[in-house]
Every structure is written in structure tokens, then in C-alpha cells.
Amino acid sequence: MYGGGENFKVVITECAAIRGEPTIERKILSKIDADVCLLRTKDETKIMEATKDADVVLCDAAPITQMIIQNFVRARGIVEMGIGHDNIDVEAATTRGIY
């Protein structure tokens, strides 16, 4: 368990639509009793809604914009599961203290 009774929440944006179910991610995250939310979208509004209370966001090509980052309540990390990070607003994340 995480955070005084709340599970650690990880949101995966759209990777499963590209490479199948995130079985590796689910297996790793099950060790920390994480809730895994799989979106299968690049839509900013849907990502904003799902990531508001996430601890970590895993993305592949979905844009993680300043608007999404400003909506985070408790996120501490954004993980790019591909090459580079040009789809993540690094400046906005850095300002919020998000790795």
C-alpha cells in the first residue's frame, strides 16, 4: 500500500495500443501494489482526467503538456517509454518538481 491506505497509481497513456497489453509493466508494478490505469489515448482531456491523482505517468508518444502537468495533484514522475522526451513539457514538470 502507498500513501496511508491509498495505492500507488500509475497511468499508462497509449502504449498498449502500439505494442499490446502492458504485462511487463503490470508485473513490475504489482510488487508495490500499484493501481495501473491504461488509457489507450493521446487525447489531452482524457489524459488530464486520468492523471490528476496519479503518482507516475508512463507515456510513449502522448503529449504530456503544461496543462496536463498543472492538473497533477500528487505526481512525482513522468516516464517516457520510448526514445527522447520531446512530447513532455520538461520545463513545466521541472517547475512542479516532477522528475
pLDDT the model gives residue 93: 98
| Per-residue burial over 41-58, b = 16 or more CB atoms within 10 Å of its CB, e = otherwise | ebeeeebbebbebbbbbb
25-80 pLDDT per residue, tens: 767 777 777 888 888 899 999 999 999 999 999 998 899 999 999 999 999 999 99
pTM of the shown model: 0.82
40 with 63: CB under 8 angstroms? Answer: no
Residue 62 CB neighbours (<10 A) = 24
